[in-house]
Chain A
Amino acid sequence: MNYLNCLLFFISSLIYFESKGQVNTFIRPSVAATYVDNDNSLISSMNKLLNNNNSYFFNRFNGIPVKKTMHSSSIANSSVFTEFKKKDQDLLKSELKENYSKLSVDLKGVSKEMISTLFNFKDNSFSYDRMLEMAKLSASDLQMFSGLNSKDKTKMFYDISELMLDKLFILTIDIRRIETMDEYDKRQGIKPEDRKQYGYRGEIDYYLTKVIWTKEDASYFFENCWIDNSTNESERDEKIKNFQNMKIKTELLFTNRLVAYSYQTKLWANHPTYGRTMEELFNTMPDVISSQMMNELSEYSSDFKLSAVLNSAYPCNSKIGTKEGVSLTQRFYAYEKIQKSNGEYKLKRKGVLRVKMVGDNKDNNTATQLRQQGGRKLYPGMYIFENDSKYMNIILSYNNQISNDVLNLNQYNVNFNIGPWGVTKRNKLKNRYIGINIGFGNFSNVKYEKTDTIYSSGFSIPIGLEFNRELYFTRKGNIFLYPSFAMNAIIVGLFAKKENSQVDENNNGIYDVNETKADRGTPIFINSNVGLGLGLHLGPKLSLIYRSMLVYNLIAWESGPFNTVNTNDLANIWGFEYGFIKNFNNSIGLRIQF
């Protein structure tokens, strides 16, 4: 590498600092991970595993290997937090900042090491080889085209590498505690016979530090520190000394403590498929830690959010994939770039996309397939930005039973669903959800039995499980089919019952408990329903869902002397009378996606 290249790099860095608009690509952040070492053998082993971890978190950025490790002796033991609790957030933050102030002395050395690693400092000289390799990894197809067809084939990559210098971070991982679930339960005072899990639990502090590489730093570095084959021998010592004395600023951007678990229930310990050894659980811990860190960091900083271009629409795909650590759980927003009348640019959200199939762009150069789930018409060239999905939703709904049969109850329901989950044989996402349903309904003057004589008022509480799925059949995915199946236990409480009753106009249909004696005990339902719904995306996180359901209720009453219900449906078993009652149910609800 000669002075010409050095000059080119310096000029391009000046151009970059003047105007950032030329390179349009996802610039992978460069991160040096450092670990606070500890005498604890579990922590040391976990540090080693994390260092060699190849999970999607570490695929998302350029890992810069640095030798620097810090020792925990420089950090005070956690005095307040023998246990991490959310309510201690303020105290936690102050402790983390205090610990960081002790670490930051060492971090200055790490930032210097990063620069020398990036500029491939070897045998007392620098080179751009490593930077250019990383720039090629970040370059889009079009940039590769421009770069490779240009007279100076490296200029485009120099431009990209300059942008990379604006995204240098140090991630310091300080594992404060690793313990077995048994040790954890013991600390919690749980008796040995009540300890249900085995595996590991960890408390990890981490710090994200930005290395600030300014125009002045670049200028000083290339003029006073850069050494290559063309550097005179007489200048070398002085330049090395200059680099050693060069001060590179760092700034703490984000810090947090996370609690990670890698455990299994003891019931499955010997299961041929699901049973896992302690060693296996320990080895999966780095994935848990790194994915939790990635979620928090991408929420905090857009630098850690994946952005790309939509390469084709309908079918939608983007040339991102395994190289960027794309996973089936990811959600993207598509944006249109708009030039306003005053010449300024803005981005306007146009649609929501979910990963349908992850492309292998490491080995096969296949693109990631995406499925639009709401929004306007998309077109190739739109920006797509990762938007963190919490993998769950809540549906608030009102169920109305339309038939005039026995105990046709209207209810308000809340469904907590987890998903989407499930993949096909071709590794495509199935958009399945599993959830818990909890509801409440009160009723008055509802027909209590199949004879037309008993009416009742009271309340009902359904609790159960629900399985549902989204099926998209339109290009834009604004509407979707929503088949579902649910099983609920419905507990009914009766205020009063009345024989041969009519609606009591004077008392809003609610009967006095003393008005009649209860003829039967409180019924219990086992409710199962199969439904087909239609969903409409109102926004990226809000959908309206209408469902029609065929409901089968198995209703059981305490058996008693009063037996007027249709004998075809009822029988006396174990002191109960029961009946199958078919109903139709309409439900309308709002779904909030997290």
Chain B
Amino acid sequence: MKILIILMFLFPSFLIGQKKNSWAYELEFISESSESSYIIKVWTYSKKPKLNIEKTKKSAIHGVIFRGVKNHPPLTNDISIENKKSDFFRMFFENGGMYSKYIISTGKSSIGMGDIIKTDKGYKIGFIVQINHRQLRQDLEIQGIIKGLNNGF
């Protein structure tokens, strides 16, 4: 019985914890911008048809670090880093955190034709951002979050 009560208390907090760490987005490569940056379209999910620019920017940077886009592999293949360095990433992705430094520009908060789609679970919203991936890699390497490209040779 005691175990059951403990589980009842733990279960919702487990769910909340999951929600906090879950990243729901898709990335679509648009074009190379320069040697150090590229343009992607970030598809985020929302219950309302309203663009959350900060959430979109966070998703874009998260995607560049952990998922990668066409011709640009993720900055790390070690997915567990997000949990191992959870303190760093919590601060990194908090509102006004370091993540915004790597967004060079965005599509001026306007949504393009066909970039908002209603699905069974809510709305899928596409937004274009330009990312400085080289600077992001350098800073994460300096802080020891990811390994350098030359590491291992």
Residues of A bordering B, CB below 8 Å: 24-26, 140-143, 145-146, 149-152, 155-156, 307-309, 311, 336-339, 341, 345, 379-383
Contacts and interface: CB of A to CB of B under 8 A. Distances in A.
A313 to B, nearest CB: 9
A486 B134 CA distance: 72
Contacts of A336: 118
B128 interface: yes
Query: What class of interface size applies to chain B in its complex with A?
Result: 20 to 34
28 contacts: A24-B112, A26-B113, A141-B107, A142-B107, A142-B128, A145-B108, A145-B128, A146-B31, A146-B128, A149-B31, A149-B105, A150-B30, A150-B32, A151-B32, A151-B34, A156-B31, A309-B111, A337-B117, A337-B118, A339-B124, A341-B120, A345-B117, A379-B49, A379-B116, A380-B49, A380-B111, A381-B49, A381-B115
Interface string B22-44: 00000000111110000100000
Contacts of A337: 114, 116-118
A151 B124 contact: no
A320 to B, nearest CB: 11
Interface in B40-84: 49-51
A16 B119 CA distance: 26
B148 to A, nearest CB: 25
A345 B115 CA distance: 12
A151 B38 CA distance: 8
Contact of B113 (A145, A308, A338): A308
Contacts, number: 83
Contact of B115 (A24, A145, A155): A24
Contact of A140 (B39, B113, B119, B130): B113
B31 A142 contact: no
Given A142-B128, A146-B128, A311-B110, A382 B116 contact: yes
B110 A149 contact: no
A155 B31 contact: yes
A137 to B, nearest CB: 16
A143 B115 CA distance: 12
A150 B32 CA distance: 6
Contacts of A307: 113
B33 A151 contact: yes
A142 B110 contact: yes
B136 interface: no
A152 B113 contact: no
A150 B39 contact: yes
A308 B111 CA distance: 12
A24 B113 contact: yes
